[in-house]
């Protein structure tokens, strides 16, 4: 077992880790790897332009940028609490001069233009243009057989077929682009890597940064509990016969034979917790910048390559389709010395991991197998449920996700649709301080965002939207009752031309009628009490 920490979201230890982490976030640079083809999802655009959920229609990239800005703009707090309950003044001292938190996005030829245009069209979602840098990875030639003959394009026999080289390219690109040196000169201390569709990642980043800082980790892999033999890479401590040690992601299909051949004849089995002792890597990584920059000066960021051909049959002579050399960003610790402090942070699935990778058809097959579907449908409901659970932990009375409606053939538990925006709270402690009494029905929808919003007493049966700019403080106090919004299945309609692609991916549309909602949007500074004021 490698060094690491299992963190219970909302517990006292978590609150303390977040206090540390949220301060460290000011000295952090974020890196989004978004060069992947997304073949499994089968969406015609780029994954980061997809809405996370249909209630607020926030796009993945927008959510990430806004979370970074929320971390950047929050008031520094001596005691970790920046906004008191019910609009009370900050308990914190002076506002720290805002320092920009950089974001680098790795794109590829498949995603570059669309990512740039998404940012340009949306005014960088409120970020300054200088704080966002796009770095583009190149594709590599494909191989056609076991002798590594090069594959030619089907439509042009004088051109090589090319495919992406894997997210491991991010390390060399950060080095050669000069970004690492720039961040070092800006006094940054950490680099956080995250992937294109995990809407929950910023829920756990402050706590995980707290773990990196308190355990002095050079490399920290964010993980979730992993059932034995589950198809997720496992973080493990490998010890060589000559005594060298390395903490690294071991692919699930290699873990079981490795354990059988070494420490456990039973292989990859659950322990008394009901999970494998080796946590599941979700590939959100935190590195300590000074050590990382120094190491990359030595290696140039080169990552060990591998090849993973899919064969037509068991003779393993013919490939199903051309393959290529790839590299993975989680393999970076392989280049580190034995003394490097490499570890992990485990959070529960509900708060840390909700990828959207699979098409409706593949998701349905996984659903029938009892596996997580990782579809746009599950991604949406998991986001709501995570927000609802955070509010429950903060004392709210919110029914469990139990409605079994069928979307794209999958019956996934649906509860109240809760969207807590990035500005409402960056940490659990901040969230808790803003929640007084809150009760809502299972069919309700609550969308709430704004740094100075708090709930004193809310009884909700229907749809309530509160969205407030910084400088306008709002106290929610009262009963809201209306017909609410309706999540309507589009039946077996995906593939039909009339249905928008993003709706087809989820299997539903949301019927939003103005008469069925209470909406409070404040765009100018001031103070208000809702629902009584408009
Ligand atoms: P995925 O495993 O989801 O792969 O990548 P993918 O290529 O996006 O999707 P499929 O396999 O074709 O269905 C994990 C993360 O790594 C990024 C992806 O954008 C995603 O954020 N990635 C992957 C890159 O940035 N570059 C690559 O060459 C591959």
pLDDT digits over 422-467, tens only?
A: 999 999 999 999 999 999 999 999 999 999 999 999 999 999 999 9
Bridge-partner residues for 414, per DSSP? 403
| Confidence check: pLDDT of 404 > 70 | yes
| Ligand 1 site, residue 40, Cβ cutoff 6 A | yes
* pLDDT above 90: residue 37: no
Q: Is the pLDDT of residue 493 over 60?
A: no
Q: Which of 34-43, 75-84, 136-145, 306-315 has the lowest mean pLDDT?
A: 75-84
Measure 137 CA to ligand 1 centroid, in angstroms: 12
**Average confidence (pLDDT) over 29-40:** 94
* The pLDDT value given to residue 88: 34
* 110 CB within 6 A, ligand 1: no
Query: Which atom of ligand 1 is the closest one to the Cα of 41?
Result: 13
Q: Which residues contact 157 (CB under 8 A, 6 or more apart)?
A: none
Distance 374 CA to ligand 1 centre (A): 14
Q: Is the CB of 196 under 6 A from ligand 1?
A: yes
Radius of gyration of the chain (CA): 24
Mutation probe of ligand 1 site: the residue of 36, 201, 283 with most atoms within 8 A of C-beta:
36
Nearest residue CA, atom 27 of ligand 1? 166
Atom of ligand 1 at shortest range from CA of 40: 13
Residue 83: predicted pLDDT: 39
Helices (H), 227-371: 252-261, 289-299, 349-352, 360-368
Percent of the chain with pLDDT over 70: 94
What does the alpha-carbon distance between residue 307 and residue 304 come to, in Å, rounded to a whole number? 10
Structure confidence at residue 338 (pLDDT) = 86
pLDDT of residue 74: 82
Q: Is the CB of 233 under 6 A from ligand 1?
A: no
- Which residues face 223 on adjacent strands? 281, 346
Q: Does the beta carbon of 164 sit less than 6 angstroms from any atom of ligand 1? A: yes
pLDDT above 90: percentage of residues in the chain: 87
Which ligand 1 atom sits nearest the alpha carbon of residue 326?
28
pLDDT tier, 77 (very low <50, low <70, confident <90, very high otherwise): low
pLDDT at 533 over 70: no
Distance 39 CA to ligand 1 centre (A): 9
Cα–Cα distance measured from residue 295 to residue 288, given in angstroms and rounded to the nearest whole number: 11
As a whole number, the mean pLDDT across the chain is 92
Helix intervals (H) in 92-161? 112-121
Measured in angstroms, how far is the CA atom of residue 69 from the centroid of ligand 1? 25
Tell me the pLDDT tens digit for each residue of 101-122: 999 999 999 999 999 999 999 9
Q: Using alpha carbons only, give the angle 211, 213, 217 rounded to the nearest 5 degrees.
A: 80
Can you tell me the mean pLDDT for 118-135?
98
Of 55-69, 354-368, 519-533, the range with the lowest mean pLDDT is: 519-533
Residues 6+ apart with CB under 8 A from 328: 166, 167, 168, 249, 303, 306
- pTM for this one? 0.94
């Amino acid at each position: 077992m490698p060094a690491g920490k299992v963190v219970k979201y909302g517990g006292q230890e978590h609150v303390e880790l977040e206090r540390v982490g949220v301060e460290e976030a000011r000295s952090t640079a974020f890196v989004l790897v978004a060069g992947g083809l997304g073949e499994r999802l089968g969406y015609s655009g780029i994954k980061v332009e997809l809405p996370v959920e249909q209630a607020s229609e926030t796009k993945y990239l927008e959510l990430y940028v806004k979370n970074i800005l929320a971390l950047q703009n929050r008031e520094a707090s001596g005691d970790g609490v920046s906004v008191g309950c019910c609009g009370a003044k900050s308990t914190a001292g002076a506002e720290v001069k805002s320092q920009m938190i950089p974001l680098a996005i790795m794109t590829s030829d498949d995603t570059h233009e669309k990512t740039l245009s998404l940012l340009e069209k949306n005014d960088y979602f409120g970020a300054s243009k200088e704080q966002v840098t796009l770095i583009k990875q190149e594709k590599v030639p494909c191989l056609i057989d076991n002798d590594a003959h090069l594959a030619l394009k089907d439509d042009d026999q004088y051109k090589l077929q090319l495919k992406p080289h894997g997210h491991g390219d991010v390390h060399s690109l950060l080095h050669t682009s000069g970004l690492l040196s720039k961040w070092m000169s800006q006094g940054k201390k950490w680099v956080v890597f995250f992937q294109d569709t995990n809407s929950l990642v910023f829920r756990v980043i402050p706590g995980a940064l707290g773990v990196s800082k308190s355990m002095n980790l050079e490399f920290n892999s964010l993980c979730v509990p992993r059932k034995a033999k589950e198809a997720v890479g496992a973080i493990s401590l490998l010890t060589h016969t000559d005594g060298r040690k390395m903490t690294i992601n071991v692919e699930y299909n290699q873990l079981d034979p490795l354990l059988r051949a070494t420490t456990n004849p039973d292989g990859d089995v659950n322990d008394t917790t009901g999970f494998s002792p080796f946590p599941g890597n979700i590939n959100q990584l935190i590195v300590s910048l000074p050590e990382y920059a120094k190491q990359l000066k030595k290696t140039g960021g080169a990552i060990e390559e591998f090849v993973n051909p899919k064969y037509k049959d068991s003779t393993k002579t013919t490939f199903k389709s051309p393959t290529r050399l790839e590299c993975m960003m989680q393999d970076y610790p392989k280049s580190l010395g034995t003394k490097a402090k490499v570890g992990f942070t485990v959070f529960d699935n509900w708060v840390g991991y909700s990828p959207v990778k699979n098409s409706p058809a593949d998701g349905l097959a996984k659903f029938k197998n009892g596996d997580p579907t990782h579809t746009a449908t599950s991604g949406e409901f998991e986001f709501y449920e995570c927000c609802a659970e955070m509010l429950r932990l903060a004392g709210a009375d919110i029914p469990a996700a139990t409605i079994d409606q069928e979307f794209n053939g999958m019956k996934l538990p649906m509860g109240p649709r809760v969207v807590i925006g990035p500005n409402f709270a960056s940490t659990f402690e901040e969230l808790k301080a803003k929640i007084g009494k809150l009760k809502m029905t299972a069919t309700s929808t609550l969308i709430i965002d704004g740094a100075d919003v708090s709930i004193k007493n809310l009884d909700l049966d229907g749809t309530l939207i509160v969205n407030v700019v910084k400088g306008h403080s709002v106290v929610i106090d009262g009963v809201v009752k209306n017909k609410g919004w309706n999540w309507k299945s589009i039946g077996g309609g995906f593939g039909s031309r009339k249905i928008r692609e993003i709706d087809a991916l989820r299997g539903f549309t949301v019927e939003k009628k103005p008469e069925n909602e209470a909406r409070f949007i404040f765009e100018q500074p001031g103070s208000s009490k809702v629902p009584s004021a408009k």
